[in-house]
Amino acid sequence: MNDEQSKRLSDAADALMTASDALEEARDTLADTRFDSQVERERISAAQQMSQKLENAGKRIEEAVRKGTIAAAALARAGSYQRYRDATTAAREGRSLARVANEQDGTANKRAKGQESLEKLEAALTNAAAIVFGE
């Protein structure tokens, strides 16, 4: 591996770690106690924050997928393109669900849609990790 390949792989791994941290923050918002509050304003605030954190995690994952795929191409890793497609599809679906979650009626429906988003984003992150680490 030459210096350019090493740099690209390092950048991809860094982007993956950033995406993982963002996804962990989003996961935490699903457990926000404000969802169970008696005050409607607090439940709305919790749903908005959840949606924003999931959307942000999706963006970070897409960035990690892009950087990882470029690094994998430089290293000629087989199967990377299919993982790229799978990861990109899951990330886009997760981001879409994150945007829709806040528009749902009722706290339970917002959380359920947020959970669906989280699951898609976790699948995207898993594929991104496979691209970066060659698994």
**Tokens for 39?**
């005050």
Q: Residue-wise over 10-28: b if at least 16 C-beta within 10 A, else e?
A: ebbbebbeebbebbeebbe
Which residues does the chain have with pLDDT short of 50? none
- The answer to whether residues 125 and 61 touch, using CB atoms and an 8 Å cutoff, is yes
Number of domains the chain contains:
1
Q: How many Cα neighbours within 13 Å face the side chain of 4?
A: 4
Domain that holds residue 78: 3-133
Residue 99's pLDDT is 93
